[in-house]
Amino acid sequence: MTAAPSLPRIACADVTSDLDLTSAELSAVLDLASEVKRNPELYRSALAGKSIALLFEKPSLRTRMTFELAIQQLGGFAIVGEGPIGLREPLKDIARNLDRWVNGIVARTFLQKTIDDLARWSRVPVINALSEKYHPCQALADMQTIRERFPSARNLKLAFVGDGNNVANSLLLAASRLGMDFAIATPPQYELATEIVEEARRQAARSGSEITITHDPIQAVGGARAVYTDVWASMGAENEAAERRAAFAEYQVDDELFAQAEPDAIFMHCLPAKRGEEVTDSVIESPRSAVFDQAENRLHAQKALLLTLL
């Protein structure tokens, strides 16, 4: 059997945010994700003898299934814990128990501070599987999906319409480092965090990408090759659902808005989707929808991340 290629060398011990990977490391992980997808049999025992703890404060379909499957298909073993982290006993104690038993920690949390503290106290790699600030695993799968659909992602325009949330943050940081143009349209008061935009602009100055921040969805989508949206009320903001529906009413990705993009543009969504709110059924079910490719690529991108860190 052909030997598996050598894995990327990276400087970080954890991926708590998108910025833990340099631009070169991000590209290397994406290259590996494509290789793993093409030749999964080469990596079937890559994590043999290794155990990974999966900690979930939030419910999950894609994140939990794809991480459990990724670990299993790489020859490792996943141990799942659900519920609040640091409530029954101090987080620093949890981290220092886990690092005696497992080879890595994957955590899906309400707060970025929980991820950061796990990484601070743990001696094994920690992966952010979602916090209120970042969703780096989703962004990896999304970048992989775009690279599969288009010959080159450089200066390709990715448009995001909706809430300036964790997914938007991670997409902006990934796009700005890969030389991809990024435009986002949000209602007033739902913009991206200032520090995220400032960091992305620094990255864009090096990569040559362009960043557009607007309140006009037509401006954002015009000329885009990928149009992305997400739920208007993320998990934890359900009590704001009615208020947000009113604020985001003009930000639905429907056929008319999607038509402002390039003819070969794809539609993207991290799922779950509120059909009839942020996107119409006709768009998400159209032949140009890539949402289930994105979901599939969560498996491959996370395999690449696990292989790289472990």
Residue range 46-81, pLDDT digits in tens:
999 999 999 999 999 999 999 999 999 999 999 999
Residue 225 bridge partners (DSSP): none
Count of domains forming the chain:
2
Q: For the whole model, what pTM was predicted?
A: 0.96
Residues 107 and 170 in one domain: no
Is residue 65 assigned to a domain? yes
| Contact between 56 and 80 (Cβ < 8 Å) | yes
Residues 160 and 228 in one domain: yes
Is residue 188 assigned to a domain? yes
Residues 143 and 278 in one domain: yes
Tell me which residue range forms the domain holding 237. Answer: 138-292
Residue range 85-108, pLDDT digits in tens:
999 999 999 999 999 999 999 999
| Contact between 254 and 293 (Cβ < 8 Å) | no
Residues 144 and 225 in one domain: yes
Q: Catalytic residue positions?
A: 108, 135, 138, 230, 270, 298
Residues 29 and 128 in one domain: yes
Is residue 197 assigned to a domain? yes
Alpha-carbon distance 42 to 40, whole Å? 5
The alpha carbon of 88 is separated from its chain's Cα centroid by a whole number of angstroms, namely: 29
Helix extents (H) in the chain: 23-38, 62-73, 91-101, 112-121, 136-149, 166-178, 194-207, 217-221, 241-247, 255-258, 281-284, 291-309
Residues 162 and 249 in one domain: yes
* Low-confidence spans in the chain with pLDDT less than 50: 1
Residues 144 and 247 in one domain: yes
Residue 229 bridge partners (DSSP): 161, 269
